[in-house]
Amino acid sequence: MTVDPGFPDKTTLLQAWDALRALGAPEQGGTRAGAHDIRALFEGDPGRASRYTAVLDDLVIDFSKTSLDDAALEVLHALSRAAGLSLFRDRLFAGDVVNVTEGRAAMHMALRDGPDAALSADVAGGHLGGDREDASALASAELGRMGEFVSGVHDGRIRGATGAVFTDVLNIGIGGSDLGPLMATEALTVAHGPRLRARFLSNVDGHGFAAAIRGLDPARTLVLVASKTFTTQETATNAAAARAWLSEALGEPAVADHFVALSTNLAAVASFGIRPDRVFGFRDWVGGRFSLWSPVGLSIALAAGFDAFQAMLAGAAAMDAHFRAAPFATNLPVLLALAGIWHVDVCQYRAQCVLAYDDRLRRFPAYLQQLEMESNGKSTGLDGRRVRQLTCPVVFGEPGTNAQHSFMQLIHQGTSVVPVDFILAATPDHDRPEAHRILAAHAFAQAEALLRGRGLAEVEAEMRAKGVSEASIAAVAPHRVFDGNRPSITILSGRLDAFALGRLIALYEHKVAVQGCIWGINSFDQWGVELGKALAAGLLPDLAPGAPEGDHDHSTNALIARFRALRGED
C-alpha cells in the first residue's frame, strides 16, 4: 500500500502537545494554579456566555461552562494546525484514503450531500494513480431506488406473499446497522407515529428474537437484513431464525416477497432467497457506524416516511457544508472536538456524559457510544506507534430527567469529574407546554448546579434558617456540599425535527473525525472488534456436548466445563 496519511512534523506536533499540557493544573502535570476554576472565569469576564457560544442558524452550542479560556483555545488551535487538521479536512472531502489501515476513503458525506456535490472516492486503496468513482452519483442512484421502494410499500403496490399490505418492518442488524436506524426511527416517530411499525433485532440471544417477533403477523411483516458482507454471525443467525419463522407461517416461496437485503454480497443474498431488486447496497467508503444515511437507513424511511429521511439527510448536509467551509474559530464540530480534547488530555477527565432532555433521543447516547468509542478508542497512532496522549473517554448517558434520579449523584458529588453535554430543543412536538418548560428548567438547572456548586457556609446558613439544630448541622451539612466547577456544554436547537436530527448527528460525526486527526489515530477502522469475534468462532465447537477440552486458558476451560455441566451436557 502506498497510502500517505499526511503525517505532520513530529517535532512541531510534540511541542504543541507540550504547550497544551502546560495549561493544566500542577497536579495534572501543568503549571497553572486554578486552571479549572470555571466560576472564576465568569467572575472575570461578564461577557463570557456570549463569547463562548457558537451558532449555526437555530443551533446553539454554549461551552462557556467549561474551563476553556482564550489562552487555552489559542493553544488548542495551534495544536490543530500542527496536527494538520486543515489538510485532513480537505483530504476527507476529496475522498482520499483516510482509513489507512484498510485503504479506504470515508465518504459517507456523499450519501447526503446530493448528486450536485460531485464528491468522489478513491477505490484503489490509495495507490498512486488509482481509480476513483463518483460517490455522489452512486449514492443518489441508490437513494432513488430506496424512494421508489418506500413509496411502493406505503401506497400498497408492494405487498406480502398473501397480498396483505405491510404494517410492520423488522430490521435485523448489529452495531452500525442497528444503533443508528433504531435511534433515528425512535426520534422521528415518537411524536407523530410511524408509517410502518418498526422493530429492531440485534442481539443473537434467542430472547431478543422472541421479543422482536412477539405480536407480529408474518403476512404483514417486511424483514430487512442489514449486513454489508452478509456474513456477520449475529445478524446471519437472526436472519435465519426470521426466515424459518416466516417460512413456517407462509411457505418457503414467501421469503422472496418479505425479505430485503442491505448488503453488497450479492451471491450470499441470492443464496438466502432474496431477489436482486430487493437488494440495496453501499460501497466500502461507507463505514458501519456512519451508514444510517445509506440503505441501512431504509427502516427509518419506512417508519418515518421518505420525506423525513430526506430531511434528515439535508440536515446532515448542512452540517457538512458548515464543517467544510467555516473557519475553525467558529466551526461547531471543531470547537466541540477541542473542548473534548481539553477535557481528556489537559483535565484528564476519562468519561463523557450525554444527557438529551428529549425522550425522542433516548437512544442517542447508545448511538454515540459506538460512534465515539469505536472510532477513537485507539491506542496506536497512524505511524504504528503507541500514542503518548489520552484518547477517547468512556461515553454514557440517559434521557433527562431520568438521569437525575440515577447517576447524576456521581456527576455532582463523586470523586471523578465527568463533563456533560446537555441537549435540548426549545419547541416540542406535543401540546403540553408547561411540561416542556419544566423539562427545560431541569436541564438548565443541572448545568447551573454543576457550575455553581454549594459551599459549606451556604449549607449551614440554609439549615439554620430552617431551624435545624447545631448538632444536626455539624453531622449533615458536609454531605450536602457540592464542589461545583464541573464542566458542561449545552446544545440547544429550535426544535427536534428530521432536519435538526440529521444536523445533530453529523455534528458529532465530524467532532469524532477532528479528534481522531488531532490524536493522530485512525477514526475509521475498528480492529478491536475483531479478536473477540475470531475467538468466538473458534470457541463455539468446544461448547458442544462431549467436546474435548479446548486450547484456552484455565479459566475459560473451567467456565466451558461448568456451562456444559449446568446444561446437563457434560
The CB density around residue 315, as the number of other CB atoms within 10 Å, is 23
Helices (H), 47-203: 48-51, 70-82, 85-93, 135-154, 179-189
CATH topology agreement for domains 53-82+327-452+486-526 and 134-309: yes
- Tell whether the torsion through CA atoms of 264, 266, 268 and 270 is positive or negative: positive
> What are phi and psi for residue 341, nearest 5 degrees?
-65, -40
CATH tag, 134-309? 3.40.50.10490
Residue 10 annotated as catalytic: no
Place of cell 432532555: 357
Residue 533 annotated as catalytic: yes
What is the b/e burial string over 149-175, where b = at least 16 CB atoms within 10 angstroms of the residue's CB? bbeebbeeebbbbeeeebbbbbbbbbb
Structural domain boundaries in the chain: 53-82+327-452+486-526, 134-309, 543-570
Q: What is the C-alpha separation between 512 and 395, in angstroms, rounded?
A: 12
Minimal CA–CA distance to 335: which of 45, 63, 90, 21?
63
Helices (H), 170-265: 179-189, 206-213, 233-250, 255-258
**Adjacency order of strands within the sheet including 488-495:** 53-56, 59-62, 488-495, 420-427, 351-356, 394-399
- Kindly give the confidence (pLDDT) of every residue in the chain, 570 residues in length, as a single tens digit, with 9 standing for 90 and above: 334 455 688 999 999 999 999 999 888 888 888 888 999 999 999 999 999 999 999 999 999 999 999 999 999 999 999 999 999 999 999 999 999 999 999 999 999 999 999 999 999 775 545 689 999 999 999 999 999 999 999 999 999 999 999 999 999 999 999 999 999 999 999 877 899 999 999 999 999 999 999 999 999 999 999 998 898 899 999 999 999 999 999 999 999 999 999 998 889 999 999 999 999 999 999 999 999 999 999 999 999 999 999 999 999 999 999 999 999 999 999 999 999 999 999 999 999 999 999 999 999 999 999 999 999 999 999 999 999 999 999 999 999 999 999 999 999 999 999 999 999 999 999 999 999 999 999 999 999 999 999 999 999 999 999 999 999 999 999 999 999 999 999 999 999 999 999 999 999 999 999 999 999 999 999 999 888 888 998 999 999 999 999 999 999 999 999 999 999 987
The yes/no answer on whether domain 53-82+327-452+486-526 falls in CATH 3.40.50.10420 is: no
Q: What is the C-alpha separation between 535 and 361, in angstroms, rounded?
A: 35
- For the entire predicted model, the pTM comes to 0.96
Q: Given 374, 398, 460, 509, which residue is catalytic?
A: 374
C-alpha separations of 356 from 178, 399, 422, 554 in Å: 20, 5, 6, 44
* DSSP symbol at 556: H
Q: Given 405, 466, 479, 554, which residue is catalytic?
A: 405
**3-class DSSP state for residue 56?**
strand
How many residues are recorded in the chain? 570
